Structure 1
Amino acid sequence: MSFEEFGLSPELMSGLADVRIKEPTPLKNEVIPPALQGKHLLVKHEAGDDGVFLIPALQKLTTNGEVSGTRVLILTPSVERVKELDETVWAMGYHAQISSAALSMKGIRTEQEQAMKDGAPVVIANPGRLIEILENHKLTLPHVDLIIIDEAHGMENYNLVSRVKDIMQKVEGDPQVLIFSGSNNKAAQQLSSDLLKNPQVIGFDDDAVSESKEKAKSEPEAKKEEPEADTNDQADEEFELDQEEVNRKLAEASVSVVLNPEEKEEAEEKKAEQQAPADEEEPEPVPEDLKQAYIYVPPRAKISTLLAHLEKTLTDKIVVFAASKRTTDRLFRIIRKKGWGVVSINKGLKQEYYDERFGKFTSGDMKILLVGGLSATEVELDEVKQVINYDVPNEVEEYKYRAELVGRGKAARIVS
């Protein structure tokens, strides 16, 4: 079969072309049709062919029109998988304006909490972090109609199966469930037994689910297992912060601050994002004759003010700096709906996607470039009419780096 025969939306087809997926693999041919029909599935799956579940997930979102709240929930045991899947969803869903929120154990908690409150259409999460946010803020998941369990075999450690079950208690309605696992181990069996309803089994014996149900009746739930000494991805789920390292970095930065234990992780993340490379030269002083503009607005009016400002200068090449990927995602959706040429790049974006989007801006195909979580020293800009600080940087040095784009003739003016 071909992707056209699956009836995929033109926007999703364009997204597949962007990530160079041209023809469905044999596993995609087996999985995508029943997944689009709404069936529950248990699939033997190795990492590397993530389109097998992301394609039907994104297709459901494109056919449902305007989405309200989180509709697709993807649970995975690995921190790295959260990041990887988030990038792939962004790339595949780019033309369909589908955004996602990544909730990993190493992420910035406040941003993740806001993403859940905002109702990102797709949430990709480590079970531990998600249930923590849901319980702390007394949140539920009333709109989810598709749940994907990725690497179910990896849920065997750290009692993740019970956390997945706790999350399911927060889900309202009767969502479709797809389970993908490298093996039919105890974790996969428990999840299949508890979550799947009349499933189709692909890659395992047809009686894999029925056997799981029989074992579930005869065996109590496994107790929490102790982690092995040399775990990698699984150890990410129970991430522990090196407090001595945080204190050392704070001391280097000459910052005296008292943090709650739960905030130390956020401080390290933000410090890493804002800190320039050690061998980077100090920025030159901002020229005295540099033309700068500052627009004071309350936070609730920032987006509308930005849109009004952009509308007056649509013929210019403009760079908009924001503090995070989450902010650029939101701005991208709004600006794209206006029909203005916009692309976005952010910290952690795969190089091939970065090059493609940045190339569209430098070639003039797109007039607006959104930059999330990156320093001006990391973006090779030239001949830009405006530099806009949607979020004014916390570090004076970073402001100087951006101002230097104007001082060196690479931009005409800077607006904050």
Structure 2
Amino acid sequence: MAVFSMWVKRAPSRLLPCLSSLSYKQNGSSYKSNGFSSQRNGYDNKSSYDSGKYQRNGFGGQRSGGYGGQRNGFGNKGGWNDQNSLQTINWESKSLMPFEKNFYEPHPNVKKRSEYEVEQYRQSNEITIDGDAPSPIQNFDETNFPDYVMDQIKSQGYEKPTCIQAQGWPLALSGKNMVGIAQTGSGKTLAYILPAIVHINNQQPLSRGDGPIALVLAPTRELAQQIQQVANEFGHSTYVRNTCVFGGAPKGPQARDLERGVEIVIATPGRLIDFLEKGTTNLQRCTYLVLDEADRMLDMGFEPQIRKILGQIRPDRQTLMWSATWPKEVKRLAQDFLSDYVQINIGSLQLSANHNILQIVDVCGENEKEFKLNTLLQEIGDNVDRDSKVIIFVETKRKVEDITRTIRKFGWPAVCMHGDKSQQERDYVLRQFRNGKSTILVATDVAARGLDVDGIKFVINYDYPNSSEDYIHRIGRTGRSNTTGTSYAFFTPNNSKQAKDLVSVLKEANQVVNPKLEDMAKRSGGYGGGNNRWGGFRGSYRGGRDSQPKRMKW
């Protein structure tokens, strides 16, 4: 059977043609989805913020008593016991030491460019600015990075800055608060890590008992660890220490790092609150704050934790918020915690997907999914390179386990990942998937972002997500770095409210629209020119309409 397979002014101090034509009847037991489920929400948080307007369409019905004290699906303790919760610091009563945060000096080439040239560059790269921002740099030579940073950039093989870096670096180094809206994989991590290093190296060294100078909050442990890899690559030569704190791993080593003192802390909200409540660390020295994938953190119900943490950080800090979408919840968070911020949008303002991905939507019934999945996997296994990797996205943890067992029963080498897996189990699963020993990964949305694995050729949405931006994040696991990929989605009548947005996404990417889907979109209220509600979902992997991969011959 086939297996598929400077700013710094001194030296540093530290993946078938449409299956909807097939009419199969499911003879075995089907998976009941009951909407978006009673016990777990789609993002695996048992303790999602379920107090009313933040409840997501009936998600998370088990823990509906406020903030919840149990652990969420990512191993982060909710920590909302009133007896242990942190008290917001009254900063007006504090005597705050002044600090410097503007380290940007434009390169002479940047200064020479006219406003027309700057605007032409921004328009050609779909960079939109809301606020007063410095002119973008266009190559690394214009960054005026010190030698120790430039050496690392060259050793990593970077040729030129991405759009978010070209505009984001001057803005971040100017010390201004900013919101960056760009798709996952567009270079955001480097856009804030390098300015963080510059910021840190221009502050007073840490003293015993001091907390970090820079804090990066991320929604999942996988993304946090990916951020740490970048911080390690560029922090080593600059003597900037970091640690990564997240749930699902022993607290001891993380606590020791915090107690010894580190300049950068990369954290998931729940575990960080654990350490703050215990006094293991504090955020009173934090002057550089990053909220990465803010939309994802809010979708996962982390807003109360984020607000709690921000109450521990001095208000005159520099704050950088990064997001792939711009829903009203993210906008409200920015208005509450970022005074006088500049917003950068990269890409089209229309909800859009990577044009290098062939998108196939199968309109079917819920009880047809299991048979269709097995048929689809058989087709893939018989016709595609055995080393090609596949991710199958489903909504709940229990269904992840059920589908994985079913796939293995049919002889496919599959592993699974969801929020109840320990860190050791997650690491093992990712190793098996990365090295190709298991070429099928069944996962919840825990793998929708922050997962960068080479060779993923197919993405299958067994359960269509609750929002089209999550769909785009899921399929974005393939077609990375200008490669091509194919995505499949099983779309049922239960998903009809998403039909309009999905049709817009497909048409924007010049994809063939299933007539059944188009009819469903019309019956659900019509469709039109894209979903702008998200105010800037980016398509920064924009390969152009001519780059759409050809359909495979089966």
TM-score by length of 1: 0.49
Q: Which has the higher helix share?
A: 1
Q: RCO higher in 1 or 2 (8 Å CA, sep ≥ 6)?
A: 2
